[in-house]
Structure 1
Amino acid sequence: MEFRLLGTVCVDTLTGPLPLGPAKRRSLLAALLLHANTPVSMARLTDCLWDDTPPLHARTVIQGHVSRLRALLMGADAQAYGVELATLGDAYVLRAPETLLDSQRFEELLMLAREQRSPADTVLMLKEALSLWQGPALSGTYASAPLQAAAHALEESRLSTVEQLARAYGVLGEHHRAAAVLRTEAVAHPMRESVAAGLMTALYRSGRQSEALDWFHRTRRLLADELGIDPGRELADAYAQILRGEPADASGTRGGLGGLAHAPNVPGGGAPGAPGGLGR
């Protein structure tokens, strides 16, 4: 049995994913998994399932979804995996070993990556962590403010991990690989200056100076047109380094590929206050 938040929220079993049903039930499961092994109040669950004023029968609706979810888990022999959906007063708690939750394993792999002395081993840990992602976090849930905030925090952690992977490639002198992983994110997040700066540096160090400069001007125009701002220091510094013609440093210690930074914690996995109040 495996619980997934890093993509479409689901419960995978040996016979396939459980039929969770409507988005509200999937959202309820997501809210419980974001606080796995911690009681989640009826009020918090209500906030996750309805944006504005909840219906008068909201409590009954939640109780019905809990009952159906509990039946699905019991039918999948969840107890054999140490999984239990329990009622604690005016709250519910989904008890489950952390190894069954993809976001918890993601965070554990990030911790292991930080402990590696070899950049090659760091790359392996980070690639394994990123392989857990199967799409945008918390897909298939209701777009309530708390769940959207949690999904955003998870996505920020993923992006930080991609940037960390690029830095590790830079330390190894594999700048073409750094450019490859950053390009995808630069296209998807065109105004994220740290990604653009890292991509520019990786392109420059892999001998593609013209492409690196083009990327700067593209990002600069976008920032001006969309936000009315100039490039920040990190992006400007990467641009200046290229203009100065600084030699490509295989150690990756300048221009956005320096030191392997710690990625932020994942919501529900011990982070001290994720957006939307979903951190523990």
Structure 2
Amino acid sequence: MEFRLLGTVCVDTLTGPLPLGPAKRRSLLAALLLRANTPVSMARLTDCLWDDDPPLHARTVIQGHVSRLRVLLTGADAEAYGVELATLGDAYVLRAPETLLDSQRFEELLMLAREQRSPADSVLMLKEALSLWQGPALTGTYASAPLQAAAQALEESRLATVEQLARAYAVLGEHHRAAAVLRAEADAHPMRESLAAALMTALYRSGRQSEALDRFHRTRRMLADELGIDPGRELADAYAQILRGDPEPVDARPPGYPAQGRPGAGRRP
């Protein structure tokens, strides 16, 4: 059994995904999974399912969805996996081992990646973490403010992981790989300056200076047209580095990595 939040919210079993039914039930499950092993109040669940305009019978609707989820979990032999949907006063708690939740495994892999001395090992763990994503987080749920905020936080973590993977590739000197993982995200998030700056550096270090400069000017124009602002320091510094022809990227080494990924090595003077 596996609970998924990094994509369409679902419960995978040996015989396939459970038929969760309507978006409200999927949203209820998501709200419980986002705080797995912690009681979630009826008020919080109501906010997740209806925002500021819940129906008069919201409590009854939630109780009905909880009842149906229990039936589904029981039919999938959830108890054998250590999974239980329990009632605690005016709250519900979904008890489950963290290993069954994709978002928890994602965070665990990120933590392990940060602990590695070898950038090659970090690359493997970061790629495995990103492979858990099967689409935008919390897909298929009601677009309430609490769930949208949670989805945005998860997406921010994913984008930060992509940037971390690119930095690990840079340490290995694999700048073409760094550019490859950054390009799609920079295109999808054209005003995220950290992505644009990282892509510019990767392109420049790959010998594609004209593409790097073009990315800067495209981003600068978009920031001016859409937000009325100039590039921030990170983007401006990346641009200046390229114009100077600096041999090193602005920040190629993630914190804690020795130079060129060699244990015990320091930065070059």
Structure 1 length normalisation: TM-score? 0.90
Residue 53 of structure 1, CA deviation: 2.0
Question: What's the counterpart of residue 174 of structure 2?
Answer: 174
| Contact 1:197–1:256 (Cα < 8 Å) also in 2 | no
* Separation in structure 2 between the aligned mates of residue 126 and residue 210 of structure 1, nearest angstrom: 29
* Separation in structure 1 between the aligned mates of residue 206 and residue 250 of structure 2, nearest angstrom: 13
Residue 233 of structure 1, CA deviation: 0.2
Q: Which amino acid aligns with 1:19?
A: P
Question: What's the counterpart of residue 273 of structure 1?
Answer: none
SS at match of 1:85: strand
Question: What's the counterpart of residue 85 of structure 2?
Answer: 85
Question: What's the counterpart of residue 134 of structure 1?
Answer: 134
Residue 256 of structure 1, CA deviation: 4.5
Q: Which amino acid aligns with 2:252?
A: L
* Separation in structure 2 between the aligned mates of residue 127 and residue 239 of structure 1, nearest angstrom: 28
Match of 1:255 among 232, 250, 256: 250
SS at match of 1:86: strand
Question: What's the counterpart of residue 228 of structure 1?
Answer: 228
Q: How does 1:109-188 map to 2 (within 5 A)?
A: 109-188=109-188
* Separation in structure 1 between the aligned mates of residue 111 and residue 211 of structure 2, nearest angstrom: 34
- Per-residue deviation, residues 131-189 of structure 1 (Å, max 9, x unmatched): 00000000000000000000000000000000000000000000000000000100000
SS at match of 2:93: strand
Residues 195, 50 of structure 1: CA spacing in aligned structure 2 closer, same or farther, 3 A cutoff?
same
Work out the number of aligned pairs and report it: 256
Question: What's the counterpart of residue 209 of structure 2?
Answer: 209
| Contact 1:175–1:205 (Cα < 8 Å) also in 2 | yes
The answer to whether the aligner puts 1:53 opposite 2:53 as a matched pair is yes
- Per-residue deviation, residues 67-110 of structure 1 (Å, max 9, x unmatched): 00000000000000000000000000000000000000000000
Q: Which amino acid aligns with 1:22?
A: P
* Separation in structure 1 between the aligned mates of residue 255 and residue 27 of structure 2, nearest angstrom: 35
* Separation in structure 2 between the aligned mates of residue 76 and residue 83 of structure 1, nearest angstrom: 10
CA RMSD of aligned residues (A): 0.9
Residue 255 of structure 1, CA deviation: 2.1
* Separation in structure 1 between the aligned mates of residue 53 and residue 111 of structure 2, nearest angstrom: 40
SS at match of 2:87: strand
Question: What's the counterpart of residue 275 of structure 1?
Answer: none
Question: What's the counterpart of residue 27 of structure 1?
Answer: 27
SS at match of 1:33: helix
* Separation in structure 2 between the aligned mates of residue 223 and residue 51 of structure 1, nearest angstrom: 32
| Contact 1:162–1:181 (Cα < 8 Å) also in 2 | yes
Query: Greater relative contact order: 1 or 2 (C-alpha under 8 angstroms, separation 6 or more)?
Result: 1
Residue 259 of structure 1, CA deviation: 2.0
* Separation in structure 1 between the aligned mates of residue 21 and residue 39 of structure 2, nearest angstrom: 23
* Separation in structure 2 between the aligned mates of residue 7 and residue 183 of structure 1, nearest angstrom: 21
* Separation in structure 2 between the aligned mates of residue 256 and residue 24 of structure 1, nearest angstrom: 44
Question: What's the counterpart of residue 68 of structure 2?
Answer: 68
Q: Which amino acid aligns with 1:233?
A: R
Q: Which amino acid aligns with 2:221?
A: R
| Contact 1:10–1:20 (Cα < 8 Å) also in 2 | yes
SS at match of 1:202: helix
Question: What's the counterpart of residue 265 of structure 1?
Answer: none
| Contact 1:197–1:255 (Cα < 8 Å) also in 2 | no
Residue 52 of structure 1, CA deviation: 2.0
* % identical aligned pairs: 90
* Separation in structure 2 between the aligned mates of residue 194 and residue 133 of structure 1, nearest angstrom: 21
Following TM superposition, where does structure 1 have runs of at least 4 consecutive aligned residues deviating by more than 6 angstroms? none
Q: How does 1:102-113 map to 2 (within 5 A)?
A: 102-113=102-113
Question: What's the counterpart of residue 17 of structure 1?
Answer: 17
Structure 2 length normalisation: TM-score? 0.94
* Separation in structure 1 between the aligned mates of residue 83 and residue 47 of structure 2, nearest angstrom: 25
